[in-house]
Amino acid sequence: MTDTPAAAAPPSDQKPAEQEQAVADFGIDTTRRSAGQALRDYVDRVRGGELGSLPALAGLIVLVILFGLSSSTFLSLNNISNLLAQAAGITIIAMGLVFVLLLGEIDLSAGTGSGVAAAVMALHYVKGGNLQAGMGDTVFYAFIIGGVLAIGVAVWQRIWLGAVLSAVATLILLLGVPANPWVEMLLAVCVGSVIGCLTGVMISKIGIPSFVVTLALFLAWGGVILKLIGDGGTLSISQDPVLFGVANNNLNTLGSWILFVIFAGGYAAVVLFRHAGRVRRGLVAQPTSLLLIKVAVVVVLGAVATYLLTVNRSPNPDRITISGVPYVVPIVLVLLVVGTFVLDRTKYGRHIYAVGGSAEAARRAGINVPKIRMSVFVIASTVSAIGAIVYSSKVGSVDPNAGGGNVLLFAVGAAVIGGTSLFGGKGRLSNAIIGGFVIQIVSNGLGLIGAPAAVVSIVTGAVLLLAASVDALSRRRAKATGH
Check residue 52 and give its pLDDT.
66
Average pLDDT over residues 333-344: 93
User: Distance between CA 181 and CA 389 in Å, rounded?
Assistant: 11
Of 401, 399, 125, 389, the C-alpha closest to 239 is 125
Among 20-24, 194-198, 447-451, 474-478, the least confident range: 20-24
Output b/e per residue, 141-164; b: 16+ Cβ within 10 A.
eebbebbeebbebbbebebeebbe
Of 99, 146, 94, 100, the C-alpha closest to 120 is 146
pLDDT at 11 over 60: no
User: Distance between CA 305 and CA 67 in Å, rounded?
Assistant: 19
On whether the CB atoms of residues 215 and 165 are closer than 8 A, the answer is: no
Instruction: State the sign of the Cα–Cα–Cα–Cα dihedral 312, 315, 317, 319.
Output: negative
CA neighbours closer than 13 Å in the CB half-sphere of residue 293:
6
Q: Place 51 in a pLDDT band, splitting at 50, 70 and 90.
A: low
Check residue 20 and give its pLDDT.
45
Among 11-25, 78-92, 197-211, 383-397, the least confident range: 11-25
**CA distances (Å), origin 279, targets 194, 271, 284:** 45, 12, 7
User: Distance between CA 444 and CA 453 in Å, rounded?
Assistant: 11
Q: Place 2 in a pLDDT band, splitting at 50, 70 and 90.
A: very low
The 3-state DSSP class for residue 416 equals helix
User: Distance between CA 203 and CA 217 in Å, rounded?
Assistant: 12
User: Distance between CA 391 and CA 398 in Å, rounded?
Assistant: 9
User: Distance between CA 384 and CA 405 in Å, rounded?
Assistant: 15
Among 40-49, 362-371, 446-455, the least confident range: 40-49
Q: Spell out the residues 6+ positions from residue 376 whose beta carbon is closer than 8 angstroms to its own.
A: 99, 100, 102, 103, 105, 200, 352
Check residue 478 and give its pLDDT.
61
Residue bearing the bigger pLDDT, 101 or 424? 101
Residue bearing the bigger pLDDT, 385 or 435? 385
Check residue 290 and give its pLDDT.
80
Element (H, E) at 397: strand 397-398
pLDDT at 49 over 70: no
pLDDT, mean over the chain: 85
Among 10-14, 238-242, 312-316, the least confident range: 10-14
Q: Place 481 in a pLDDT band, splitting at 50, 70 and 90.
A: low
Check residue 28 and give its pLDDT.
43
pLDDT at 14 over 50: no
On whether the CB atoms of residues 423 and 104 are closer than 8 A, the answer is: yes
**CA distances (Å), origin 150, targets 28, 155, 205, 438:** 44, 9, 14, 36
Check residue 35 and give its pLDDT.
65
E runs forming strands in 43-88: none
Q: Spell out the residues 6+ positions from residue 5 whose beta carbon is closer than 8 angstroms to its own.
A: 30, 281, 282, 283
On whether the CB atoms of residues 352 and 135 are closer than 8 A, the answer is: no
Average pLDDT over residues 340-360: 92
Phi, psi of 326 (to 5 degrees): -60, 145
Q: What is the pLDDT of residues 141-183, one digit of tens each?
A: 999 999 999 999 999 999 999 999 999 999 999 998 998 999 9
How many Cβ atoms sit within 10 Å of the Cβ of residue 326? 22
Average pLDDT over residues 219-228: 92
User: Degrees (nearest 5) of the Cα angle 205, 209, 215?
Assistant: 120
The amino acid sitting at 134 is G
Element (H, E) at 456: helix 453-481
Report if pTM > 0.85: yes
pLDDT at 31 over 70: no
| Ordered alpha helix ranges (H), 102-231 | 110-126, 131-135, 137-156, 160-175, 181-201, 210-229
For residue 394, give the DSSP letter.
H
Q: What is the pLDDT of residues 53-100, one digit of tens each?
A: 777 788 888 888 988 888 888 888 888 888 999 899 999 999 999 999
Average pLDDT over residues 354-370: 91
The amino acid sitting at 228 is L
pLDDT at 3 over 50: no
**For the chain, percent of residues with pLDDT exceeding 90:** 49
Q: What is the largest CA-CA distance in the chain?
A: 83
Residue bearing the bigger pLDDT, 13 or 368? 368
User: Distance between CA 393 and CA 271 in Å, rounded?
Assistant: 35
Average pLDDT over residues 285-311: 88
* Helix %, strand %, coil % of the chain (to 5): 75, 0, 25
**For the chain, percent of residues with pLDDT exceeding 70:** 86
In CATH terms, the fold of domain 53-249+326-473 is ABC transporter involved in vitamin B12 uptake, BtuC (1.10.3470)
Output b/e per residue, 204-225; b: 16+ Cβ within 10 A.
beeeeebeebbeebbeebbebb
